[in-house]
């Protein structure tokens, strides 16, 4: 599985998970099985709430899901329209998210949350 995790920095597995998808300065892409990471700069981090241009960065990136702590309804629907699952986490680092995914403990993001 390949996932995108919004992060506050670009330090790979040590990167801190951002509390919000669209405003995250970076997206850390992770191949969970191989535990390989790559980082994208979120060019749309300052575009404002309710637009979700950030999702455009994931088109053609072979990502299966986004794992995040928070996301607005527009972003959630945009990602789902792109065929991506949206998973919830309370982890603090990318490495912790990978652990949750390997254990199968990352639930779908609550549509009300």
- Per residue in 50-84, pLDDT (tens digit) is 455 677 778 788 899 999 998 888 888 888 888 99
Predicted local confidence at residue 84, as pLDDT: 92
The C-alpha atoms of residue 10 and residue 35 are separated, in whole angstroms, by 15
What is the mean predicted confidence (pLDDT) over 20-27?
A: 89
CA dist 12 → 44, 63, 92, 107, 108 (Å): 20, 16, 13, 23, 23
Predicted local confidence at residue 48, as pLDDT: 57
At the top level of CATH, the class of 2-103 is alpha beta
Mean confidence (pLDDT) of the chain: 87
């Amino acid at each position: 599985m390949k996932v995108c995790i919004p992060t506050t920095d670009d330090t790979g597995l040590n990167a801190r998970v951002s509390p919000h998808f669209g405003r995250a300065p970076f997206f850390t892409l992770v191949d969970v099985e191989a535990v390989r990471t790559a980082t994208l700069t979120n060019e749309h981090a300052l575009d404002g709430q309710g637009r979700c241009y950030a999702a455009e960065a994931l088109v053609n990136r072979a990502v299966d899901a986004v794992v995040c702590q928070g996301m607005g309804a527009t972003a959630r629907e945009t990602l789902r329209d792109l065929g991506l699952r949206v998973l919830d986490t309370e982890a603090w680092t990318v490495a912790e998210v990978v652990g949750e995914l390997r254990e199968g403990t990352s639930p779908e993001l609550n549509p009300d949350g």
